Structures are given as structure tokens and as C-alpha cells.
Amino acid sequence: MIRTVPTAPYKDQKPGTSGLRKKVPVFAQENYAENFIQSIFDSLEGFEGKTLVIGGDGRYYNREVIQKALKMAAAAGFGKVMVGQGGILSTPAASNIIRKYGAFGGIILSASHNPGGPNEDFGIKYNIGNGGPAPEKITEAIFERSKIISEYKIADAPDIDLDTQGSCDLAGMTVEVVDPVADYAQLMESLFDFDAIRNLISGGFRIAMDSMGAVTGPYAKEIIEKRLGAPAGSVRNATPLPDFGGHHPDPNLVHAKELYDDVMSADGPEFGAASDGDGDRNMVVGKDMFVTPSDSLAIIAANAKCAPGYAKGIAGIARSMPTSAAADRVAEKLGLGMYETPTGWKYFGNLMDAGKVTVCGEESFGTGSDHVREKDGLWAILFWLNIIAARKEGVAEIVRKHWAEYGRNYYSRHDYEEVDTDAANGLMDALRSKLSSLPGQSFGDLKVEAADDFSYTDPIDGSVSTRQGIRILFQGGSRVVFRLSGTGTSGATLRIYVERYEPDASRHGIETQAALSDLIAVADEIAEIKTRTGRTGPTVIT
């Protein structure tokens, strides 16, 4: 029942910050997905007879690759696979199932916040036994194996019925099709004060949750409408669709503008939230207030004791390097450990496993905690509802009081998408060549205090990650960060992060881009963005 299939390697299967992402036609090439899945299995040891979790965000090509992965897992010797009904598992829900049932690991099929469809994006990511993304030593081993692979093994068996819950046999391996929502909803109910949130909603507090035609729809319907009592229709675009209904499932001010405009209207809901393709990102807005992801992390950390699951306080906070220093000020005031890591949720895993941190966040709309080992969009949204219910204050009031206490970190990210790869690499190389000469230079009123290419030594295992982003730090706490994203599938995405710290509460009402205008101009001057990319402005500003 097991076939050995000859194959030839592809040279482009290097995982990025969160797995391998390519366009669907690339994955649909002969043996392309099979090669990468086999390379995963060939890079692991000790999984014979163990349990593997498989699920995805429902995007185009999800079901086809799940069938391949199931048959290859049977051929590899796994004893059991738990797969989400309909092939669906949000990324945080998959992490929870891996942890709850002691699985060896999991395969998550997603390209996160990237578009879906026949010619759009697809992805495969391996998560280890703690529920988190595979560390670099494993992803590097997978890549090295993919470059020399000559065969893969697959069970010669009919496809599994993914739409019916229950267990069946596949070439001697048990396949259990599980409810993708139940375990996750139970976990959320254990962490948050559902009674307080129910009372908030029953008192007339209106919520709009946009699942963007993506995976969180069933989760949000079950939790927000069914368990918390929000009126039917509070969760919008709730059916996961292969092309996300034509949405770009990235919860930001560009792609979730309709939700934002609704909340900001006079008769709109008091609270708006959105999540992304695979459910690990979030956007939160309230009347007259968009909450930046950096501020969201800081405010959740500062108010963690509002939620029953965190009533004893948190151990520490971690953030990715490009994320603003807003959370640093909370950690300092509360006497907590603060850790600055490279971009990529995998860098938080060791810190959480060692008990060093409880709450983590990235500026790219990702927030989470040690309840799983992935960022978790719906968790962050429920945390905000818990804080609102406990404090009996609206979003804008909570944010402004936080700024008054800790100061405001004006912050924005400018994305230049699908830039010519050579041009983007040339820009970064030119910046690196300038680093030693920048300190001491003045650009208008801004004086460079330091400049470096960020590197990180993991305090738990001592591993070192270099070339993680170029930082230009100015006197007074302002900074500009340049980084090439590892989550795109076409060309290169140049991300520029701009930040200014403002302790004076009387200056907390300035429009963000205006407050950062001189830093934005200096970023272009130093990096020669327009000249080197040919772009007159960013594709997306968040």
C-alpha cells in the first residue's frame, strides 16, 4: 500500500519566517508539495507511531494538499493524524491541539494574511511539539534536504472524507477528523471572563467582527455570537472561502477599511475587530480610535490582570525588534523582563517554554501569549473585550489614559510591496555600508545616536540570528528600521518602521503621519528609497 515515487529536487524551497510560501501554480507543479512534505519528515526523528496534526485556513489548494499530507504521513510511519473538519484549523487552534493532545508536531497549510485563489498564495509550515513554528535549525535542515531529495513515499489509498467527524484507517494509520472549533473555544472560555463580556454585550455594547472570508469565521460565530450573545450578523464574512471572497485577508486600515469606516460612523458599533487568513493576526478599533498593534500589546500587558487566566500577573513581555517600544515602558514600570527578538513568532517559543514571558507581540498585527505557541487574533480581540468590560471604558478612553500614564509612541509602517528583488537587496546592502558613518550625523533636528544591523542571541539556547533588520536610532528615542519581509511570494517587500516617543500628553493628539513626517523624509534620504526602488511612495501605510 506504500509507493515510493522518484522525484527531482526544486531549488527554491527555503522556508521564510513562517514556512514555505509560493503561488498556487508553483505548489501545483509535479511533486512540488510532495517534495517539501517529504523533506519535513526526512528532517525529523522519533515520530514513528506518534500523532501529527494537520489543518489549514481553507484557501485554494488546501484540501488537495491535505490529502497528499495524510497519505505521506501514513507512509512515513505516523500512528495517527488529527485533521480539522473540512480541512480547517486556524493557526492558533492547531497550536492548541498539538499541545492539548501531546502531538509530535503539526503541518499547517496557510499563507497567513496573503490573498488566496487559483493564482494566489499557498503555504506549508511545520510546527514542533510545543505547538510553535519550527526553529531555524529544523527549517534549515528541511531546506537542505529539499535540495537533494530523490524520492518520496505515499500511501496508495482513497482520499479521506474530511467533512465528517470521526476516525478511520489509512494504510494502518488512524485519521481522526475533529471539530476545529470546540477545543479552542473551551480554551478561550478558561482564559477570559465570559460572564462580564456577556453582560457588556447584553447592555447594548455593539460589536462588529470581520473574519474577511477566512478561517476565524466559525470560531467567531461560536464564541462571539453563540457563547457571548452578540446578535446574529455581528460576525461578518464568516464563511471560509478558497479565495476569501475576493478579500485580501490582512486586517489593516487598507484591507479592513469598510469595518473601520463603519465603527467611525455616528451610528456604527462601539467596537470593531478583524482577523486574517489563518486567524493569527488582529485589528482592533473603537469609536475615534484605531489601536496600533504595538499599543495593543502594551495595553494588554498593562491590563492583563483583568482577565481570569492572567489574574496572577504576567512573567514578562517579548516583542519583535521592529515593534514599537510602548511595551518596554510597561515592563519597566511593572518590573517585568522585556525581550526584543527578531521578527518571527518562532523566536518567542523558547522564552515562553522557559517561563520568561507570558505576553508577546509583533507590529504586524500579531499578539499572543503562552496559552499557545502562535500569535492569536481572536484571543487578542477577546482580551480587549475583557478589558473593556472590566474597566467599563471605551477603547479610546483606555488608549488615551494609557498614553497619559506611559507616554505615546507614534508609530507607522510603510510597505513597498513587490519591489524588484535586486533593487531591494541593493538598497539594504548600501545601507549596511553606511552604518559605521551614520552616528553623529544630523538630518535637520534629528541626530543619529547609533546605527546597526540587528542581531539576536537567544538567552535560552544561545543560538544566534544575524542581519535581522537595520536600525537607525536618533537622540531622544526616535528611530527608523529597514527590513525585507519574509512573508511575500513575489519580488521583495521592503518594510520601513518609523517611531517617535512623545512623553508630553499635550502632544498626543497629532495625526500620526504628521508627527512622523521628518523621520519619514530622513528615511528616504538615508536609504535613497525613491531612487533605488523607483517608487514614489509606499504600497500600504499602517
**Which residues are marked as active site?**
112
Q: Mapped to the 3 state alphabet, what secondary structure does 460-473 carry? A: CCCCEECCCCEEEE
Contacts of residue 37, defined as CB under 8 A and 6 or more positions apart, other chains included, come to 68, 69, 72, 107, 124, 152
Type of residue found at 203: G
Per the listing, cell 517561563 goes with 355
DSSP string, 420-486: -HHHHHHHHHHHHHHGGG-TT-EETTEEEEEEEE--EE-TTT--EE----EEEEETTS-EEEEEE-S
DSSP state of 287: T
Contacts of residue 400, defined as CB under 8 A and 6 or more positions apart, other chains included, come to 289, 508
CB-CB neighbours of 337 under 10 Å: 15
How far is it, in rounded angstroms, from Cα 43 to Cα 144?
9
C-alpha cell at 396: 479610546
Axis-axis angle for helices 395-406, 326-334 (nearest 10): 70
How far is it, in rounded angstroms, from Cα 41 to Cα 368?
28
How far is it, in rounded angstroms, from Cα 293 to Cα 361?
8
How far is it, in rounded angstroms, from Cα 244 to Cα 236?
12
Q: What is the CA radius of gyration of the chain?
A: 23
Contacts of residue 89, defined as CB under 8 A and 6 or more positions apart, other chains included, come to 53, 54, 55, 56, 83, 97, 108, 180, 215
Contacts of residue 255, defined as CB under 8 A and 6 or more positions apart, other chains included, come to 212, 247, 248, 249
Closest CA to 477 of 362, 328, 352: 328
At 389, which helix (H) or strand (E)? helix 377-391
How far is it, in rounded angstroms, from Cα 127 to Cα 143?
15
How far is it, in rounded angstroms, from Cα 388 to Cα 178?
33
At 492, which helix (H) or strand (E)? strand 492-502
Whether residue 502 contacts residue 515, with contact meaning beta carbons closer than 8 Å, is answered with: yes
Tally of CA atoms within 13 A in the half-sphere of 362 that contains its CB: 20
How far is it, in rounded angstroms, from Cα 442 to Cα 129?
49
